[in-house]
Structure 1
Amino acid sequence: MMRVGRVFFNILIVFFSGFFLLYMFWARAVEKDHSASGGMSEETLDYFVSRGLLPRRDAAEMSWSHAVNSRKSLAEALTGPTHMIEADVLIRGREPREPIMAHPPDTDSDITLREWLESVKDHDNKGIKLDFKSLEALSPSLLLLHELLVPGRPVWINADILPGPGGWSQPLDARSFISVVSVLRLDTVLSLGWTTGWKAGGENPGYSWEMVHQMEELCRNLQHDITFAVRAALLSSSAPQLTWLLQQSDRFSLTVWTGKSDEFPLEDLLPFRKQFNVSRIYYDLPQSWRTQLCSAPED
């Protein structure tokens, strides 16, 4: 009986994935007609600047709430000062198997993705970033996203899709992920990264040329804005590679993040801020670090 149930569930996943792709191809066709008449949505920074929520188009000014995977943390984030609300999505480990807000190893939550989006939709002063750790949750989640959120607000879809320096966890299958998200509305930001690791006192190699070339090849034909999630502690040892990657398209940006135990000097982050427009380097870092970055000379 369990085997029959799992086969039936897999059939449902395939069905909904196919339905989602057909729906999104239709939605993209409508969007292209709309954008041709000047209706294209604003970019993430412009969205917040136009509402007086950011003082200027400086990505270091943007702030983040993390792991907003419960009713309590969502209520706090919606009434708090941060611009972007980040949460993790996976399929519940029991019936009903539906998208919920949880980070592995958790397999259950007190809030589903539908409930989460219902709460967020009336707060247009917030953008959202959904982090996917499995392909299973992707298609049904994106269907909910299009059902419940009006176009135009900042929506980022995040996943690690390639192995990176020191990474031990398994990335999502890159081409499968790209094939699903490529039909999203063009105002959706794709946040793509590598699995990484970092060891205190040990050697921590940066992003290699092979890694950035693989990522560029995957993203070359996408039409969306793409931000590459890069680990702050590896930035200084990857400067030529990441500089090259940013130079391949004006649609590309970086989102610099850090692990809780990572160690690195603030000076490691300044060269990119000075070399590129400040709108192209986001810093998903503690407030004190972002404040120092914003006050640092840009030349």
Structure 2
Amino acid sequence: MLPSPHQSWAHSTCTVAELTKAIQDDSITAIESDILMGTDTSSSSTSSKQPIMAHPPERTSDLSFTTFMEMTSSCNKHLKLDIKEKECIPPILTTLKKENTKDAMIYFNADILPGPGVRGTVPIPPPAFLQPCLEFLETQPPQTAQSHYAFSLGWRTDCRSIYGYTPQDISKMEEVMLQYSLLEKSAGVVLAVNARVLAKSPSVLDDTLDEFGKTQKLQVLIWTGTGEPPISNRIFSNLKDHFERIGCQDLVGFDCQVASNPWMGAIFDVGVKTNGVWWNTKKAFWYTVELILPKMNVVQKLLKRD
């Protein structure tokens, strides 16, 4: 069974100083950190790449994954491992076999499906992420796999997208969950969704929560990303009110930066929308160019033949 979705998160904890602060802060109940292959600057051997705690595009950190696990081994805080590259997965799982003695939950997190604003391929497709993680869980005692490891699954998104999550986005994730029997083989699944994107169509998750929420092994976490402006209290309240209205407030958590006052919230919201108009227009232009250019090349070749 999953812990309560109502956690107090330390977000993108990617340095020794940030991790130390999060561990010592009694108000923090869960720690999230990004992982990619890079250089551990605290090590004398800087030539070899290893899993480090860093957010793209950074490739160096004073906090390796091994050190991260050692530092958190005795603290009773949940950990979310936000895996950014599939190359990280084997060494991460090897380290977990050696280092993990935690009683709290460890979430394997990755964006495994394309989503609003980022349609196309994903760096970590479902098989590359889920198969090795499930193989790792098979090496654990059943009680450990069911009580200490969960999946946090998301879509690649951009908060500037005009459109929200679609029913097809959600049904595809449901298919993945069922195909890999994730609810049966782990403590459960958390669907990670961007606040601004979800705000465009919050009801898209209603049926999924109704169907799978009864198992107590599926939750939703609504987040804002690193580098993304805080959301307004209006967006936050609308999302919170929606899930309270359908009786799912105990299945939905938030890891969001919220603007400190209404004026700043309005400025941030308008800024993201304005930037989104330009961004979406540019995307549409280049998409059109990509469609037209091959046809123009064909016409040019035909004209040359004539």
Same fold (TM over 0.5): yes
Amino acid at match of 1:198: C
C-alpha RMSD of matched pairs (Å): 2.2
Are 1:195 and 2:195 counterparts?
no
Amino acid at match of 2:170: V
User: 1:49 is matched with which residue?
Assistant: none
Q: Is the 8 A contact 1:232 1:269 kept in 2?
A: no
Greater alpha carbon shift after TM alignment, 161-170 vs 216-225:
161-170
Where do 1:1-299 residues align within 5 Å? 43-45=2-4, 59-60=5-6, 62-80=7-25, 81-92=27-38, 95-124=47-76, 126-150=77-101, 152-167=103-118, 170-183=122-135, 184=137, 185-187=145-147, 188-199=149-160, 204-220=162-178, 221-222=181-182, 223=184, 224=186, 225-249=188-212, 250=215, 251-259=217-225, 260-261=228-229, 263=231, 265=234, 266-286=237-257
Q: Evaluate the alpha carbon distance shift between residue 176 and residue 103 of structure 1 in structure 2; reply closer, same or farther with a 3 A threshold.
A: same
Distance in 1 (alpha carbons) for counterparts of 2:84 and 2:146 = 22
Distance in 1 (alpha carbons) for counterparts of 2:47 and 2:208 = 43
Q: Cα deviation per residue 1:97-118 (whole Å; 9 max; x = unaligned)?
A: 2211111111121121111111
Q: Evaluate the alpha carbon distance shift between residue 102 and residue 243 of structure 1 in structure 2; reply closer, same or farther with a 3 A threshold.
A: same
Q: Secondary structure at the match of 2:87?
A: coil
Q: Evaluate the alpha carbon distance shift between residue 65 and residue 233 of structure 1 in structure 2; reply closer, same or farther with a 3 A threshold.
A: same
Q: Cα deviation per residue 1:122-175 (whole Å; 9 max; x = unaligned)?
A: 112x11111001110012102212321225311111110001011268441112
Deviation at 1:217, TM superposition (A): 0.3
Q: Secondary structure at the match of 2:146?
A: coil
Q: Secondary structure at the match of 1:137?
A: helix
Q: Cα deviation per residue 1:217-258 (whole Å; 9 max; x = unaligned)?
A: 000122230000011122243334211222332322100012
Aligned residue pairs total 230
Q: Secondary structure at the match of 2:35?
A: strand
Distance in 1 (alpha carbons) for counterparts of 2:169 and 2:194 = 14
Q: Is the 8 A contact 1:158 1:192 kept in 2?
A: yes
Distance in 2 (alpha carbons) for counterparts of 1:182 and 1:256 = 25
Task: Give the helix-richer structure, 1 or 2.
Answer: 2
Distance in 2 (alpha carbons) for counterparts of 1:43 and 1:236 = 25
Q: Secondary structure at the match of 2:57?
A: coil
Unaligned runs of 5+ in 1: 1-41, 46-58, 290-299
Q: Is the 8 A contact 2:9 2:32 kept in 1?
A: yes
Greater alpha carbon shift after TM alignment, 84-93 vs 273-282:
273-282
Q: Evaluate the alpha carbon distance shift between residue 276 and residue 150 of structure 1 in structure 2; reply closer, same or farther with a 3 A threshold.
A: farther
Q: Is the 8 A contact 1:198 1:262 kept in 2?
A: no
Q: Is the 8 A contact 2:38 2:59 kept in 1?
A: yes
Deviation at 1:270, TM superposition (A): 1.3
Deviation at 1:182, TM superposition (A): 2.3
Q: Secondary structure at the match of 1:189?
A: strand
Deviation at 1:77, TM superposition (A): 0.8
Which one has a bigger Cα radius of gyration? 2
Distance in 2 (alpha carbons) for counterparts of 1:100 and 1:123 = 20
Distance in 1 (alpha carbons) for counterparts of 2:209 and 2:257 = 24
Unaligned runs of 5+ in 2: 40-45, 138-144, 261-306
Q: Evaluate the alpha carbon distance shift between residue 237 and residue 171 of structure 1 in structure 2; reply closer, same or farther with a 3 A threshold.
A: farther
Q: Is the 8 A contact 2:52 2:63 kept in 1?
A: yes
